[in-house]
């Protein structure tokens, strides 16, 4: 695990680069060729773990730069929706309006999931963001199940299995189904939790293309279970994790394939890429 001093030093260096005008206008990898824009039916981005308000972290700057990066992606290849996958703020529920105002600067629609540090009552969450902890985002091209993985005190929990089972059946006819949930349901990371019933549902869902997680700040890759793919996106802020603030891009292609790659905006190469 990175020390707080090391993380803050790397983060501040990144912020200095942004201020110097050296940020990428949009992620444009040199090492591989992206599909032609006309072959992309739907494009979305994910980031997690902003920890807005955490002491001794530059949370205002890390949020500002992530909003800028997402808006530049929108200006480039386009972004249809952003997902902020949990731990939007750090423990203090009074920060809800402020963190929402921060994300409202995005130039595309966005959705949020509830994380273990988002210690606000569900009714306040719904009043702020317009959605319950469990909800569905449906588009022409895909359906997204957004699941809750923590209670109001931050205890890790498995999502509501009956609700999830109903939604999986309801959207089984969609060409693409995605799940967005803060904590991974397999104990293959230090901070994961085992939810075998949920994993079995996912394993049987034919149109489930990918599951997306935050929470494990040090994780920015992919893990596989029973033929299903589980992706991580590092972190926006906080005081530990990968030495960069990153995000994940997903491109749903007209061919039916789904391309995803992890972005470190300080580099021109993707951190990793996968096609599922």
Strand ranges, E, within 118-257: 135-138, 143-147, 177-181, 208-213, 222-225, 228-232, 247-253
Lowest-confidence region among 28-42, 124-138, 161-175, 245-259: 28-42
Q: What is the mean pLDDT of residues 30-55?
A: 92
pLDDT band at 32 (very low <50, low <70, confident <90, very high): low
Single pTM value for the model: 0.90
Domain boundaries, the chain: 4-25+36-275
State how far the Cα of 11 lies from the Cα of 18, in Å rounded to an integer. Answer: 11
Q: What local confidence, expressed as pLDDT, does residue 31 receive?
A: 57
Q: Per residue in 8-34, is it b (16+ CB within 10 Å) or e — as a string?
A: eebbeebbeebeeeebbebbeeeeeeb
Write the CB contacts of 64 (distance below 8 Å, at least 6 apart in sequence). 102
Q: What local confidence, expressed as pLDDT, does residue 23 receive?
A: 32
Better-scored residue on pLDDT, 5 or 224 = 224
Q: What local confidence, expressed as pLDDT, does residue 15 receive?
A: 32
Tell me the chain's radius of gyration from C-alpha atoms.
17
DSSP 8-state symbol, 156: B
Structure tokens at 67: 């909003």
pLDDT at 12 over 50: no
Q: For the domain covering 4-25+36-275, report its CATH number.
A: 3.60.21.10
């Amino acid at each position: 695990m990175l020390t707080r001093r090391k993380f803050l030093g790397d983060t501040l260096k990144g912020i200095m680069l942004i201020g110097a005008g050296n940020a990428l206008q949009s992620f444009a990898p040199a090492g591989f060729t992206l599909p032609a824009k006309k072959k992309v039916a739907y494009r979305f981005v994910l980031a997690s773990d902003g920890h807005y308000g955490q002491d001794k972290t530059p949370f205002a700057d890390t949020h500002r730069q992530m909003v800028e990066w997402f808006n530049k992606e929108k200006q480039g290849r386009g972004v249809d929706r952003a997902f902020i996958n949990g731990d939007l703020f750090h423990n203090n529920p009074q920060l809800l309006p402020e963190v929402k105002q921060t994300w409202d600067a995005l130039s595309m629609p966005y959705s949020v999931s509830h994380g273990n540090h988002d210690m606000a009552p569900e009714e306040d969450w719904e009043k702020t963001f317009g959605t319950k902890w469990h909800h569905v985002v449906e588009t022409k091209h895909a359906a997204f199940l957004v699941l809750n993985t923590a209670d109001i005190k931050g205890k890790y929990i498995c999502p509501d299995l009956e609700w999830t089972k109903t939604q999986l059946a309801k959207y089984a006819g969609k060409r693409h189904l995605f799940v967005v949930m803060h904590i991974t349901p397999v104990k293959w990371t230090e901070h994961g939790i085992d939810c075998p019933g949920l994993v079995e549902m996912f394993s049987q869902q034919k149109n489930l293309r990918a599951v997306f997680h935050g929470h494990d700040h040090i994780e920015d890759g992919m893990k596989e279970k029973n033929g299903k793919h589980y992706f991580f996106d590092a972190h926006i802020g906080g005081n530990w994790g990968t030495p960069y603030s990153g995000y994940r891009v997903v491109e749903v292609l007209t061919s039916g394939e789904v391309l995803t790659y992890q972005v470190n905006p300080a580099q021109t190469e993707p951190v990793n890429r996968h096609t599922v």
